[in-house]
C-alpha cells in the first residue's frame, strides 16, 4: 500500500520532537489569539507569520497549520461563551452555543464542539491523504493554459461563494491582482508601479497587506461600534457530555463532516460556507428542529464538525494545485513562497516528507486541540474577558513589530498603516477584503502562466478553449457567473447570506 508508506513517512516527519513541539506551540498560540474577540484566523495567522519565517519549511508549515485550526477552534469558544464570533465560520455556532451557555450548559457545548471538531478533523485528514495524490498526479499534466484557467475558475468561484455584491468582489479581485504586480517584472527585469521607491522593487509583502486590511482595518471598524459593556462569564462546569448527549450529536457530526469535507474542497469554500450549510441542513433534517436557535446541541455539533472538516480539506487544492481557495490558504501559499517552496503538484513528488509530514501533523494537531482545550478552558475564559480597549493596542504592537521584522524596514510599517486605512474605506463601501487578498497572491502567478500559455500557442488565444481541461474549467467559471447573475438565484443567495448575519 502506497498510502500506508506515505503516511509512514509523514509520521516519521511529524513525530520528531521539534515538529511535535512546533505543532503544539502553533495550536496553543492559535487558540490563545483566536479566542480574543474580534480576531479571526486570517488576522491571527498574519500576526504570527513572522514568527515562523526563521523555522525550517516543514516546521513552519506545521506550526502555521496548527495556528489555523487553533484559531478556528478558539473562535468557536468565544462564540459559545460570549456570543462574539471572531470569524464568520463560528457565527452559526454562536446561535445555539451561546443559548446553551446561557442555560448553564457551556461546558457541554464546548465539549461538543471539541468532539465534533476532532472527529471531523480525523476524517478530513484521511480524505486529504486519499485524494491529494491522484489530484496532484492529474495536475502534473497541466500546462500553463490549464493553470491559468484554473486560477480564473478559482477566483470566479470565490466571488460566487463570497457574500456581498458580485460586482464589488470582482472589483476587489482586480485591485488585488494589480497590487500583486507591483515590483520587478520577472521576465523583463523592469520595475513596475514602484514609483521609483527601492523598497517596492521586490513587490508589496503579502503579510503587510493582510495585517493592514485584516488587522488594522478590523480594529478601526471595531472601535466604531465600541460598546462599553464588560464581558462576564460564569464559571464553566460539566464538561463531559452524557451518553445521551453523545447519541444526539453522533448523526449531526457525521453529516456535518461529510458536508464540510465536500465544501472545503471547492474554491472559495472552506470553513465559513461549510459551517453555514451544515447548520441549515441540520435544521431541516433534525428531529429537534424546533429547538434550533434555542440551545440545541445538534446546532453546535454539526457546524463545528463542518467547519473543521472544511478547514482541513481546503488544504487539498492548496497543496496539490497551489491554488488558494480562501484567504487563509492564500496566506499559507505566501508563507510557502517565502520558504522557497513553489506551491503546486510538484511539492508532493519533490518534497514528500514535507507534504506528508504536514498532513499527519494535522491529525496530531487535532489531538492537541482536544487535549489542550478542555482542561485549559479556564485560561481561555480569562483571555476572553480582556476588555477590547486594552486588547487592540497590544494587537497593534504585535502587528507593527511583526511587519517591521520582516525586512527590518520602517517602510513596511507605513505601508501597513496605509492598507489599514484602505481596508476601513473599503469596508465602509461594503467591498470585502478577502477577494482582494486572493487576487493579490494569484496576480503574479496568473501573469506568468498567461505569458507561457500564449508563448507556447504562438499568440493564439484560443488555446484556452481548445485544450479540453482548460475549456471545461473556463466553461465552469462562466456557468458559475451566469448562475449567480440569474435573478432567481440572486434572490436566494441574498436570503441565504441574510440568515447567516
Partner 1 sequence: MKNPKDFWAGVIYLGMGVATVAIAREYPMGTAVKMGPAYFPTVLGGLLCLIGLVSLIRSFFTSGEAIGAFALKGVSLIAASVVLFGLLARGAGLVPALGVLVVCSAYASIQFRWKSAMLLAAGLIVFCALVFIKLLGVPLPLLGPWLGV
State the residues that interact with partner 1 by CB under 8 A: 51, 54, 167-168, 170-171, 174-175, 177-178, 181, 185, 187-188, 190, 192-193, 216, 219-220, 223-224, 226, 228, 387-390, 392-394, 396-397, 399-401, 404-405, 408, 410-411, 413-414, 416-418, 420-421, 424-426, 428-431, 446-447, 450-451, 454-455, 458-459, 461
Measured between alpha carbons, how far is 50 from 152 in angstroms, rounded to an integer?
Answer: 30
The burial class, CB within 10 Å (0-12 / 13-18 / 19+), for 214 is buried
Enter the DSSP assignment of 193. S
CA–CA distance, 482 with 194 (Å, rounded to integer): 37
SS3 sequence of 145-187? HHHHHHHHHHHHHHHHHCCCCHHHHHHHHHHHHHHHCCEECCC
Which CB, 317 or 443, lies closer to partner 1?
Answer: 443
Closer of 85 and 439 to partner 1 (Cβ): 439
C-alpha cell at 280: 441549515
Nearer to partner 1, 167 or 290 (CB): 167
* Residue number, 51 or 364, with CB nearest to partner 1: 51
Among candidate residues 82, 107, 105, the one with its CA nearest the CA of residue 294: 105
Residue with Cβ nearer partner 1 (211 or 271): 211
Q: Which is nearer to partner 1, 234 or 389 (CB)?
A: 389
What is the nearest approach in angstroms of partner 1 to the Cβ of residue 248? 42
Which residues, 6+ apart, have CB-to-CB distance to 157 below 8 Å?
266, 267, 268, 269, 325, 477, 480
- By CB atoms closer than 10 A (0-12, 13-18, 19+), residue 138 is middle
CB of 292 to partner 1, least distance (A): 30
Residue 298 DSSP label: H
Residue 127 or 179: which CB sits closer to partner 1? Answer: 179
Nearest approach, Cβ of residue 405 and partner 1 (Å): 5
Sign of CA dihedral 438, 444, 449, 450: positive
Please enumerate in sequence order all residues whose Cβ is within 8 A of that of 112, keeping only pairs 6 or more positions apart, or say none: 241, 245, 249, 297, 300, 301, 304
- The nearer residue to partner 1, 360 or 395, going by C-beta atoms, is 395
Instruction: Rank residues 67 and 177 by Cβ distance to partner 1 and give the closer one.
Output: 177
Gap between the Cα atoms of 194 and 204, Å rounded: 9
The span from the first CA to the last CA of the chain, in angstroms, equals 47
CB of 56 to partner 1, least distance (A): 16
Query: In whole angstroms, how close is the CB of 354 to partner 1 at the nearest point?
Result: 24
CB closer to partner 1 out of 92 and 210: 210
Rounded to whole angstroms, the Cα distance separating 147 from 142 reads 6
Distance in angstroms (rounded) separating the CA atoms of residues 398 and 386: 16
CB of 443 to partner 1, least distance (A): 8
CB of 51 to partner 1, least distance (A): 8
Nearer to partner 1, 330 or 431 (CB): 431
Q: How far is the CB of 460 from partner 1 (least distance, A)?
A: 8
CB of 87 to partner 1, least distance (A): 21
Nearer to partner 1, 414 or 497 (CB): 414
Which residues are within 8 A (CB) of 11 and not within 5 positions of it... i.e. 6 or more apart? Answer: 360
Cell 464553566 maps to which residue?
A: 236
Supply φ then ψ for residue 431, to 5 degrees.
-100, 120
Beta carbon of residue 463, minimum distance to partner 1 (angstroms, whole number):
11
DSSP SS3 for 440: helix
Which parts of 15-40 fold into alpha helices (H)? 17-34
Q: Which three cell numbers stand for residue 340?
A: 522557497
CB of residue 420 to partner 1, shortest distance in Å? 6
Q: Residue 168 Cβ, how far from partner 1 at the closest point, in Å?
A: 6
What's the CA angle centered on 429, arms 423 and 430, to 5 degrees?
85
Amino acid at each position: 500500500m502506497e498510502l500506508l508508506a506515505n503516511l509512514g513517512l509523514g509520521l516519521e516527519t511529524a513525530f520528531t520532537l521539534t515538529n511535535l513541539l512546533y505543532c503544539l506551540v502553533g495550536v496553543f498560540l492559535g487558540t490563545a489569539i483566536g479566542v480574543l474577540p474580534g480576531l479571526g484566523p486570517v488576522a491571527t495567522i498574519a500576526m504570527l507569520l513572522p514568527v515562523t519565517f526563521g523555522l525550517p519549511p516543514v516546521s513552519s508549515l506545521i506550526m502555521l497549520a496548527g495556528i489555523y485550526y487553533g484559531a478556528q477552534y478558539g473562535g468557536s469558544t468565544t462564540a459559545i461563551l460570549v456570543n462574539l464570533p471572531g470569524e464568520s465560520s463560528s457565527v452559526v455556532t454562536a446561535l445555539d452555543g451561546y443559548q446553551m451557555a446561557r442555560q448553564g450548559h457551556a461546558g457541554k457545548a464546548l465539549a461538543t464542539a471539541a468532539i465534533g471538531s476532532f472527529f471531523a478533523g480525523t476524517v478530513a485528514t484521511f480524505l486529504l491523504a486519499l485524494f491529494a495524490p491522484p489530484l496532484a498526479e492529474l495536475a502534473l499534466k497541466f500546462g500553463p493554459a490549464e493553470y491559468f484557467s484554473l486560477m480564473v475558475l478559482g477566483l470566479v468561484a470565490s466571488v460566487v461563494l463570497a457574500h456581498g455584491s458580485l460586482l464589488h468582489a470582482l472589483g476587489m479581485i482586480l485591485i488585488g491582482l494589480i497590487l500583486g504586480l507591483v515590483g520587478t517584472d520577472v521576465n523583463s527585469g523592469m520595475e513596475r508601479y514602484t514609483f521609483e521607491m527601492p523598497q517596492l522593487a521586490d513587490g508589496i509583502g503579502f503579510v503587510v497587506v493582510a495585517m493592514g486590511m485584516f488587522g488594522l482595518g478590523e480594529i478601526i471598524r471595531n472601535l466604531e461600534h465600541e460598546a462599553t459593556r464588560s464581558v462576564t462569564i460564569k464559571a464553566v462546569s460539566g464538561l463531559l457530555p452524557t451518553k445521551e448527549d453523545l447519541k444526539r450529536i453522533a448523526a449531526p457530526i457525521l453529516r456535518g463532516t461529510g458536508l464540510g469535507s465536500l465544501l472545503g474542497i471547492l474554491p472559495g469554500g472552506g470553513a465559513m460556507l461549510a459551517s453555514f450549510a451544515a447548520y441549515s441542513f441540520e435544521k431541516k433534517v433534525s428531529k429537534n428542529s424546533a429547538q434550533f436557535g434555542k440551545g440545541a446541541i445538534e446546532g453546535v455539533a454539526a457546524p463545528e464538525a463542518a467547519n473543521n472538516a472544511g478547514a482541513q480539506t481546503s488544504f487539498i487544492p492548496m497543496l496539490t494545485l497551489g491554488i488558494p481557495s480562501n484567504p487563509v490558504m492564500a496566506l499559507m501559499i505566501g508563507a510557502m513562497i517565502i520558504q522557497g517552496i513553489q506551491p503546486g503538484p510538484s511539492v508532493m513528488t519533490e518534497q514528500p516528507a514535507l507534504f506528508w509530514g504536514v498532513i499527519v501533523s494535522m491529525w496530531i494537531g487535532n489531538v492537541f486541540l482536544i487535549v489542550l482545550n478542555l482542561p485549559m478552558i479556564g485560561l481561555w475564559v480569562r483571555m476572553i474577558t480582556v476588555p477590547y480597549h486594552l486588547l487592540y493596542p497590544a494587537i497593534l504592537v504585535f502587528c507593527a513589530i511583526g511587519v517591521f521584522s520582516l525586512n527590518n524596514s520602517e517602510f513596511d510599517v507605513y505601508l501597513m498603516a496605509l492598507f489599514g486605512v484602505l481596508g476601513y474605506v473599503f469596508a465602509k463601501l461594503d467591498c470585502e477584503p478577502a477577494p482582494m487578498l486572493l487576487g493579490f497572491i494569484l496576480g503574479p502567478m496568473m501573469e506568468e502562466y498567461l505569458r507561457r500559455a500564449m508563448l507556447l500557442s504562438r499568440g493564439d488565444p484560443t488555446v484556452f478553449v481548445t485544450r479540453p481541461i482548460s475549456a471545461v474549467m473556463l466553461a465552469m467559471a462562466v456557468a458559475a457567473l451566469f448562475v449567480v447573475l440569474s435573478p432567481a438565484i440572486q434572490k436566494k443567495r441574498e436570503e441565504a447570506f441574510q440568515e447567516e448575519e
